[in-house]
Chains A and B, each alone.
Chain A
Amino acid sequence: MVDTVSNAANTPELMQPWQKLGLKEDEYLKIKEILGRRPTAAELAMYSVMWSEHCSYKSSKVHLRQFGEKQPDSDVLLVGIGENAGVVDIGDNWAVTFKVESHNHPSFIEPYQGAATGIGGIVRDILAMGARPIAVMDSLRFGSSDATDTARVLNGVVSGIGGYGNSLGLPNIGGETVFHPSYAGNPLVNALCVGVMKHDQILTSGAEEVGDLVLLYGAATGGDGIGGVSVLASEVFDETASTARPSVQVGDPFMEKLLIEATLEMARANLIEAIQDLGGAGLSCATSEMASNGTGGMRIQLDSVPLRDNTLSLEEILMSESQERMCAIIAPDNLNQVLEICEKWDLNATVIGEVTDSNSLEIYWHNELIVDVPPRTVAHEGPVYQRPIQRPAEQDNLINNSTSSLKKPVNGDEIKSDLLKLISHPNLVDKGWITEQYDRYVRGDTVLAAPDDAGMIRVDRKTGKGIAVSLDGNGRYCKLDPYLGAQLNLAEAYRNVAMSGARPIAITNCLNFGSPEDPGVMWQFAEAVTGLADAALEFDIPVTGGNVSFYNQTGDVAILPTPVVGVLGVLDEVGKRINRVYSTSGSKVYLLGETKPELDGSIWAEIVHNHLGGRPPAIDFAAEKILARCMRNFSAYRIAEATHDLSDGGLLVALAEMVYDSGIGMRIDLPDELQTSEMLFSESSARAVVVVSEFGDNAFLQLCQELAQPFSYIGEIDERIDGLLVTDLFAISQVEILSCFSSPLTT
């Protein structure tokens, strides 16, 4: 029997499975209070998914507010936090939207589909802004490369990202892959998508006009991913995880490609009033958010939703996370044209309801009212928690356990031996095995892609205007100091974008943490968010959106706190981009920025000594900004032949990477103060290597002087040298470098 609204009113004492659906008792009571009666089964299903951590941000909301409150004055922000994705102005009437989202839990259970649908979901978010998706990136974390399960997860995730993204015709332009034991039971799969449109093509999700039609189009609704958001993203993982398999959605990239083309054809013909993708919480989310963002009223005939499984209950239809579906608000006059476009692309399209002024989301099942709720209470007025925050007791021990007592390499042979260890380690080797499984060429506008410091896409073929994006995280730094660590993550992404010559203009993030019910984890989270918000203010660029993934822990052990930060930059002429490949023997090699003996939290400490302790490198916002300004000028005036930022592994690793990519030898003559291992493996921030040809040298020196950019001359490109020669210390041949960087990712 269908549990109708009137039935609910008449049977107040009926026991309901709120606990099984992941609701807490006070949350259930709050629902009763809002409705003035018990919820129907359908209403309960909706609230349970929409009030889940994943959809409601109930633990993170109080902290995330800082991104809005500390927003720097910005003239580039066109759409801010709260819509499917933020939108920024890049000039010439172009608007860019970008966002990262996690698909961590599904990717552990079923790596291929988990990762594939992660790409699918973020691409639909970008599409829902009215933008043409133009590129994807991914930030991945796996357990140790030699752990038994890593190969399964890694292979599945990489083929899932490739299988889905390649089929959509979206170039994959970079990202990162990191191995660490803490991610063994909780891999991180964070997918970023970037899209472009003209200013007047921006779409939002508010259904504003009474009488407009609610159109559901794309795939038919099936039984996949039901309750995925509440079951998967809100419970700590344990051995029972394998039973959760049906909760992972199954992707159909072909359908998504059709969805992209059909949606953009409708949007460009101005046939869409508002639009929302169906992702987490499916129809429950789309209908309640669109109503809540608009007039506040909507009437839906749930029985008109096309199904691919006729045995689904109405609650399951409401909660299903079947992929490749979109919901658009269409003016009645435009319906025929919209249906024609859907037919052209062989897509199912069904009117499932209309916009009303009732201030209520009413859902009918064969003419019986089964949902009658104020949509705001579902979509936006979910519970908000001030979770307890407690700096972990062991944090002091962690900080006091610095690298000062570790044995450092003292002579050339020892330094070389450590360098070889670093560049043979899965975290630093060539990731070509992964990136070659992704299409980087499609759409014909990819200017830079992995392993370049940032990915770059040409946006305007006439003017050459383009965008650069980098996506970076560093769990080690964040474990030691989540506030500073998050700032260093942002600084690295900012610097990577700057390396290409682009001007950083916007930030997005994906915050991956353990259980919010653990006060220690909550402390990490609060610190990281505050750090990021403060750093955005210092860099003077806005945070345009983000995503939170909690419960990344196995038992009591949480992952390293891993905020992943994306920075978007703009370059007026992509032809002036710089990468890390040099070609001219005789060009000079400079180190920009100041090096301090900062080895705490470094990848050297991790790889050579399996050590994590001390304080991460200091941050200097002014120095980062000056460095970025230098890079912009190097690009604009074509002063630099190659640039590469210094991060994991410090100077020697950066030089080895440049030699590896360029294939021409390099002779390094270090100034005395840089000749110690503390300086050579230091990860001091705000640094870069710049290669300058003889034609650029005067301008280079003049510019550094003008901008007060610290620099040291450290050597020369020299084709007579085989590989990397560091005078008085060591030499590594091209063959050695090649064999190290070609080491396998997993054993």
Chain B
Amino acid sequence: MTTRVGVITFPGTLDDRDAATAIALGGGEAVPLWHKDKDLNGVDAIVLPGGFSYGDYLRAGALASVSPIMDAVVDSAKEGMPVLGICNGFQMLCETGLLPGALTRNENLNFICRPELITITNTKTSWTNFFQPNTELLIPIKNGEGCYQISDEGLKNLEAKGLVVARYNNNPNGSKNDIAAICNEAGNVVGIMPHPEHAVDGLVGAGVDGLGFFWSIAGVTV
């Protein structure tokens, strides 16, 4: 059975098309979902793609996190459905409370678009189980608010429980503990700031290192 992965489009979502392409290249089936929908159309997993949902007005991800479809996303995530929030999607997951912390303006206050090296530090999640521990990946970042912030106590908790999924090799934005991606305790919900969906085709992206995320969810084994 092909894994059906829903890709939710919010007003202002930009990387939905790219997420769908990456899911298909990874062996899954991408199912487009609209933010005003109430149900998830029976999908097996969800990607909250990047972009500027609602123009990032109020706070990045804040308005999208209360879109009609998000009730179903939150409920399903709590029941264990794999959810990947990329960039703006990560910001939404933090706004819903599915993941702790928040993303703030990059340290240099500029939007930054360039490939960055990250290291996978948790290979138990639904989205990273394909990788070997400590795999280095080249994945583009492209955001203005990618600086991961969390209380000292929260950070301690993340580290103690091994919930940091990936770290930057050269921290580009001031994120605490070089954090590029985190997950919830169950490991089904992952938020990642870099864009693995833009590293799936060397001709038009930054290499193919991002494919492993989509192989992970599609259950591809080698």
Contact = CB atoms under 8 A, between A and B. Distances in A.
B101 interface: no
A438 B114 CA distance: 9
A439 interface: yes
A196 B59 CA distance: 33
Nearest to A435: B113
Interface string A369-388: 00000000000000000000
Given A439-B142, A443-B18, A574 B203 contact: yes
B110 A159 contact: yes
B195 A257 contact: no
A461 B130 CA distance: 27
Nearest to A575: B203
A53 B203 CA distance: 44
Interface stretch (A17-25, A92-100, A444-452): A444-452
B142 A444 contact: no
A437 B110 contact: yes
Interface string B191-205: 000010110010111
Interface in A149-184: 159, 162-163, 166-169
B68 interface: no
A257 B12 contact: yes
A637 interface: no
Interface string A422-452: 0000000000100111111111111100000
A730 interface: no
A563 B203 CA distance: 33
Given A167-B52, A444-B17, A439 B11 contact: no
Nearest to A158: B110
Contacts of A695: none
A279 to B, nearest CB: 21
Contacts of B12: 167, 254, 257-258
A346 B195 CA distance: 28
A357 interface: no
Contacts of A255: 55
Contacts of B114: 432, 436
B112 A437 contact: yes
Interface in B171-222: 195, 197-198, 201, 203-206
B51 interface: yes
A458 interface: yes
B17 A254 contact: no
Interface in B143-194: 144
A253 interface: yes
B54 interface: yes
B200 to A, nearest CB: 8
A440 B18 contact: no
Contacts of A257: 11-12, 14, 52, 55
A345 B198 contact: no
A253 to B, nearest CB: 7
A273 interface: no
Contacts of B197: 444
Given A253-B52, A437-B110, A440-B113, A445 B15 contact: no
A252 B14 CA distance: 16
Nearest to A344: B36
A166 B52 CA distance: 9
A666 B193 CA distance: 38
Q: Which of A345, A440, A575 has the most CB of B within 10 A?
A: A440
B14 A444 contact: no
Interface in B1-51: 11-12, 14-15, 17-18, 21, 36, 51
A162 B111 contact: yes
Given A166-B111, A436-B113, A436-B114, A444 B201 contact: yes
B55 A441 contact: no
Interface in A251-308: 252-255, 257-258
B55 A167 contact: yes
Contact of B205 (A169, A252, A441): A441
Contact of A253 (B36, B55, B112, B204): B55
Contacts of A168: 14
Interface in A438-478: 438-447, 458
A447 B111 contact: no
Contacts of A162: 111
A42 B198 CA distance: 51
A443 B17 contact: yes
Contacts of B206: 441
B113 A169 contact: no
A571 to B, nearest CB: 12
A432 B172 CA distance: 15
A442 B14 contact: yes
B82 interface: no
Contacts of A166: 52, 111, 113, 142, 144
Nearest to B36: A344
Contacts of A258: 11-12
Contacts of A437: 110-113
Q: Which of B21, B113, B114 has the most CB of A within 10 A?
A: B113
Nearest to B200: A444
A447 B206 CA distance: 10
Contacts of A435: 113
A257 B14 CA distance: 9
Nearest to A456: B204
Nearest to B115: A441
Given A166-B111, A439-B113, A254 B198 contact: no
A219 B59 CA distance: 21
Contacts of A159: 110-111
Contacts of B21: 444
A369 B15 CA distance: 48
Given A436-B112, A439-B142, A169 B204 contact: no
A191 B57 CA distance: 25
Contacts of B14: 167-169, 257, 442
B140 to A, nearest CB: 5
A437 B143 CA distance: 9
Nearest to B19: A444
Nearest to B34: A344
A299 to B, nearest CB: 33
Interface string B62-99: 00000000000000000000000000000000000000
A344 B9 CA distance: 12
A19 B185 CA distance: 71
A441 B142 CA distance: 9
B195 A254 contact: no
Nearest to A438: B113
Contacts of B55: 167, 252-255, 257
Interface string B99-114: 0000000000011111
Nearest to A445: B204
Contacts of A432: 114
A163 B205 contact: no
B11 A442 contact: no
Given A169-B14, A253-B52, A446-B204, A441 B113 contact: yes
B155 to A, nearest CB: 28
A442 B18 contact: yes
27 contacts: A159-B110, A166-B111, A166-B142, A167-B14, A168-B14, A169-B14, A169-B15, A254-B56, A257-B11, A257-B55, A346-B11, A436-B112, A437-B110, A438-B113, A439-B111, A439-B113, A441-B205, A441-B206, A442-B15, A442-B198, A443-B18, A444-B17, A444-B205, A447-B203, A447-B204, A458-B203, A458-B204
User: What are the 4 tightest A-B residue pairs by CB atom distance, in nearest-first order?
Assistant: A254-B55, A169-B14, A441-B198, A444-B18
Given A252-B55, A440-B113, A446-B204, 17 more contacts: A162-B111, A166-B144, A167-B14, A167-B52, A254-B11, A254-B54, A254-B57, A257-B55, A346-B11, A437-B110, A437-B112, A439-B142, A441-B206, A442-B15, A444-B17, A447-B204, A574-B203
Interface of A: 159, 162-163, 166-169, 252-255, 257-258, 344-346, 432, 435-447, 458, 574-575
Interface of B: 11-12, 14-15, 17-18, 21, 36, 51-52, 54-57, 110-114, 140, 142, 144, 195, 197-198, 201, 203-206
